[in-house]
Amino acid sequence: MDINTRVEQIGVVPVIKLNNPERDAAPLAKALCAGGVPIAEVTFRAAGADTAIKLMKEACPEMLCGAGTVMTTEHIDKAIAAGAEFIVTPGFDPELVAYCQEKGIAIYPGCTTPTDYHAAYKFGLKVLKFFPAEQSGGLAKIKAMSAPFPMFKVMPTGGISLKNLKDYIKCPVICACGGSYMVTADLIDNGKWDEITALCRQSVEIVKEARNNG
């Protein structure tokens, strides 16, 4: 099964900033998996993101771990060395897309305009990150953009919560939704692993209900 299919099956992608990976990566990975969300986008906004990815994969080998807020080829190299299976960039950078394709790793670049989508089309991409989702027009814009670009599935991130997750997931254009509501700094820094697991379970139920009932 390819990465895109695995991401779509799970339906939600926790976007994680870990300030203390040595302490928090392993228990966080276990909490996510216990909640039925065996996936993580670990952002390079915090130092040690590659360490976090490595520790999460060691704790839960079945997890699909990726790197987010990737800005350079050096980030990509560090992420791959740590065991990352996908790369997420805030915007569309042709150099980084080409580098990931050369390295054979999936990349989901941030795209919110027709120009971004057109560039992604030329690279043969199938799934795009739509970031920041709510601030860039949300579901209405995603639907409008799918008219000229029906070949893409979209992963909106930014402003997604339990309140609007169902609305997004119901849309057939949506591959999965990225979010940090189940992995906030408060939850992670205070070791509220049971709460993280509970939020993941709620998210999984919303995804199932939305996809089954349309």
Residue tagged active-site, from 41, 54, 78, 153:
41
Residue 123 and residue 101 in contact, taking contact as beta carbons nearer than 8 Å: yes
DSSP code string of 12-71: EEEEE--S-HHHHHHHHHHHHHHTT--EEEEETTSTTHHHHHHHHHHH-TT-EEEEES--
DSSP 128: E
Residue tagged active-site, from 17, 54, 129, 153:
129
Residue 143 and residue 170 in contact, taking contact as beta carbons nearer than 8 Å: no
33: which residues sit within 8 A by CB, 6+ positions away? 60, 62, 63
Structure tokens, 72: 């350079």
Share in percent of the chain as helix, strand, coil (round to 5): 50, 15, 35
Residue 129 annotated in active site: yes
Structure tokens, 52: 């976090």
Residue 122 annotated in active site: no
Characterize the bridge pairing of strands 127-130 and 12-16. unpaired
* Catalytic center residues: 41, 129
